[in-house]
């Protein structure tokens, strides 16, 4: 899966079309969280310093293939101007004569952001005609939007059909490097922490990682589907009744591999999903009726922390509890803290998944990790071992 990057091709004095992910939250016409924009800066700055003219394209929200002024990228252009300290030109469309003229008049060192590509149905339909109209904006295509690489959309996989070279930007390169490492040749012991709400969304990850890991530590809502499948009482905890078979299969696979999977040994249960709810810690097989499992317990935290601290590489996907409610965030916090310690020793600690990344930022561990993936769905599919169409389509490295 070695792909060419902007460092592999000499790009100077060219018009470069870059697919970025500026799908950022807006509030009152302003960018409310600019993480995704900041993540695109290294690629933009490098290409600008080599005297290129840059045409940026992105989607924002789900306008459903038609113009929705609330989902205009205009506020993003403004914000990017501030971050770059130079004007970012904005055109209120992404294809057509007016846009072509504006794009053709761009000079080296200038930056332009096109309007939301999802204002056209051709984006999601991956229409060749639409892709061709986008592709004419550049002489080189750079994909720096890992989070959409699992989508066969026109601006991701269509454009490179008509525009070469097609290479990875620094953000995409970094994602491939840090996630790919776990699948290629992870430093051992390799520990994966898998949590989150539902086991059904993580089956592929379990199946791909179980044969590769030394340990998988399981937490979060999905634990109760495993317990329930064994016939244990789980009170009012989250259970996916139609995933019992899957849970059993995953557990059996782990047993065949020598018992790589650990499940929580104790659970923090609450009466209600409320920060002021009474709580108590109970053994995994003594969850009282009418209580809800909301986090892993202290003994599990100890057990999992010990495993993580022995590891040379750790991948986490999925929180250990309902971390959005503060008293239920201890398990997730403890895991992230242990991972931060792993990273501080020069070993590898990577967080993937939308909610897990949010937890890492909210709980204050983001800067301490080796890497936090910017892809939710994309990082899951990557860890499932699936080929991401947006990556496959790029030029292979020599
Ligand atoms: P990610 O986006 O990192 O892949 P998921 O989407 O799989 O993670 O799961 C995140 C969600 O799982 C969070 O919203 C969290 O509240 C929920 N969750 C974690 N533990 C539990 C639990 N015990 N019961 C119900 N939901 C849980
Ligand atoms: Mg999620």
Residue 241 falls inside a structural domain: yes
Residue 313 falls inside a structural domain: yes
Tell me how far the alpha carbon of residue 355 lies from the centroid of ligand 2, in angstroms: 5
- Single out the residue in 124, 142, 172 at which a domain terminates: 172
Same domain, 241 and 145: no
**Ligand number nearest to the C-alpha of 317:** 1
What are the pocket residues of ligand 1 if the criterion is a CB atom closer than 6 Å to any ligand atom?
196-197, 201, 220-221, 238, 293-294, 317-319, 321-322, 324, 353-356, 376
Residue 94 CB contacts under 8 Å (≥ 6 apart), including other chains: 57, 114, 115, 116, 117, 119, 120, 134
CA-CA distance, 2 to 38, in Å (whole number)?
Answer: 25
Which CATH number fits the domain that encloses residue 128?
A: 3.40.50.1260
Domain that holds residue 138: 15-172
Which CA distances in Å does 188 have to 251, 316, 356, 384?
Answer: 22, 15, 23, 20
Same domain, 198 and 324: yes
What is the pTM assigned to this prediction? 0.95
Tell me how far the alpha carbon of residue 357 lies from the centroid of ligand 1, in angstroms: 12
Residue 69 CB contacts under 8 Å (≥ 6 apart), including other chains: none
> pLDDT tens, 84-126?
999 999 999 999 999 999 999 999 999 999 999 999 999 999 9
Residue 23 falls inside a structural domain: yes
Same domain, 129 and 263: no
CB 198 within 8 A of CB 228: no
Same domain, 208 and 69: no
Residue 113 falls inside a structural domain: yes
Same domain, 165 and 199: no
* Ligand 1 nearest-atom number relative to CA 294: 23
Q: Which two tokens stand for residue 117?
A: 């590509």
Same domain, 103 and 249: no
Weakly modelled stretches of the chain, pLDDT under 50: none
Nearest CA to ligand 1 atom 5: 196
Residues with active-site annotation: 36, 198, 354, 377
> pLDDT tens, 251-278?
999 999 999 999 999 999 999 999 999 9
CA-CA distance, 91 to 82, in Å (whole number)?
Answer: 17
Residue 9 falls inside a structural domain: no
- Single out the residue in 112, 143, 172 at which a domain terminates: 172
Mutate to test the pocket of ligand 1, among 150, 192, 195 (most ligand atoms within 8 A of CB): 195
**Ligand number nearest to the C-alpha of 352:** 1
Same domain, 192 and 168: no
Nearest CA to ligand 1 atom 9: 196
Tell me how far the alpha carbon of residue 376 lies from the centroid of ligand 2, in angstroms: 7
- Single out the residue in 172, 198, 233 at which a domain terminates: 172
Task: Give me the number of domains the chain comprises.
Answer: 2
Residue 14 CB contacts under 8 Å (≥ 6 apart), including other chains: 52, 53, 138, 139, 140
- Could you write out the three-class secondary structure of the chain? CCECECCCCCCCCCEEEEECCCCCCEECCEECCCHHHHHCHHHHHHHHHCCCEEEEECCCCCCCCCCCHHHCCHHHHHHHHHHHCCCEEECCCCCCHHHHHHHHCCCCCCEEECCCHHHCHHHHHCCHHHHHHHHCCCCEEEECCHHHCCCCCHHHHHHHHHCCCEEECHHHHHHHHHHHHHHHCCCCCEEEEECCCCHHHCHHHHHHHCCCCCEEEECCCCHHHHHHHCCCCCCCCCCCHHHHHHHHHHHHHHHHCCCCEECCCEEEEECCCCCCCCEEEEECCCCCCCCEEEEECHHHHHHHHHHHHHCCEEEEECCCCCCCCHHHCHHHHHHHHHHHHHHHCCCEEEEECHHHHHHHHHCCCHHHCCEECCCCHHHHHHHCCCCCHHHHCCCECC
Tell me how far the alpha carbon of residue 196 lies from the centroid of ligand 1, in angstroms: 3
Same domain, 96 and 222: no
Same domain, 223 and 367: yes
Residue 10 falls inside a structural domain: no
Same domain, 347 and 210: yes
Same domain, 70 and 192: no
Residue 223 falls inside a structural domain: yes
CA-CA distance, 103 to 97, in Å (whole number)?
Answer: 10
Residue 179 falls inside a structural domain: no
Same domain, 328 and 242: yes
**What was the pLDDT predicted at 386?**
96
* Ligand 1 nearest-atom number relative to CA 319: 19
* Ligand 1 nearest-atom number relative to CA 197: 12
**What was the pLDDT predicted at 1?**
64
**Ligand number nearest to the C-alpha of 201:** 1
CA-CA distance, 94 to 209, in Å (whole number)?
Answer: 40
Nearest CA to ligand 1 atom 16: 322
Tell me how far the alpha carbon of residue 319 lies from the centroid of ligand 2, in angstroms: 9
* Ligand 1 nearest-atom number relative to CA 201: 7
As a whole-number percent, the residues of the chain with pLDDT over 90 amount to 99
**Ligand number nearest to the C-alpha of 292:** 1
Tell me how far the alpha carbon of residue 89 lies from the centroid of ligand 1, in angstroms: 40
* Ligand 1 nearest-atom number relative to CA 293: 23
**Nearest by Cα to 168 from 151, 146, 184, 147:** 146
């Amino acid at each position: 899966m070695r792909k060419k990057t902007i460092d592999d091709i000499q790009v100077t004095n060219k018009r470069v079309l870059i697919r970025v992910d500026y799908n950022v939250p807006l509030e009152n016409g302003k960018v409310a969280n600019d993480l995704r924009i900041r993540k695109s800066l290294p690629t933009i700055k490098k290409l600008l310093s080599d005297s290129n003219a840059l045409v940026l394209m992105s989607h924002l929200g789900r306008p459903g293939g038609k113009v929705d002024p609330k989902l205009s990228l205009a506020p993003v252009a403004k914000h990017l101007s501030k971050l770059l300290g130079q004007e970012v030109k904005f055109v209120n469309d992404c294809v057509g004569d007016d846009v072509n003229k504006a794009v053709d008049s761009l000079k080296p060192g200038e930056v332009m952001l096109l309007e939301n590509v999802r204002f056209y149905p051709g984006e999601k339909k991956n229409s060749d005609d639409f892709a061709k109209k986008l592709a004419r904006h550049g002489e080189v295509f750079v994909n720096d939007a890992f989070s959409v690489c699992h989508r066969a959309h026109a601006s991701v996989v269509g454009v490179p059909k008509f525009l070469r070279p097609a290479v990875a930007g620094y953000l995409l390169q970094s994602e491939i490097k840090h996630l790919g490492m776990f699948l290629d040749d992870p430093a051992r012991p390799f520990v994966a922490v898998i949590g989150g709400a539902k086991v059904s969304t993580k089956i592929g990850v379990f199946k791909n990682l179980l044969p590769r890991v030394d340990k998988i530590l399981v937490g979060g809502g999905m634990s109760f589907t495993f317990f329930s499948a064994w016939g244990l009482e789980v009170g009012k905890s989250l259970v996916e009744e139609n995933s019992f078979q899957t849970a059993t299969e995953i557990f059996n696979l782990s047993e065949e591999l020598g018992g790589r999977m650990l499940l929580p040994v104790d659970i923090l249960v609450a009466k209600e999903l409320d920060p002021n709810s009474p709580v108590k810690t109970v053994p995994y097989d003594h969850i009282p009726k009418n209580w809800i499992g909301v986090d892993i317990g202290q003994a599990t935290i100890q057990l999992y922390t010990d495993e993580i601290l022995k590891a040379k590489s750790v991948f986490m996907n999925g929180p250990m509890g309902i971390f959005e409610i503060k008293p239920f965030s201890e398990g997730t916090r403890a895991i992230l803290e242990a991972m931060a310690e792993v990273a501080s020793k020069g070993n590898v600690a990577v967080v993937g998944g939308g909610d897990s990344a949010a937890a890492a930022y909210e709980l204050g561990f983001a800067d301490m990790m080796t890497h936090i993936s910017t892809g939710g769905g994309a990082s899951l599919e990557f860890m499932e071992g699936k080929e991401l169409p947006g990556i496959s389509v790029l030029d292979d490295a020599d």
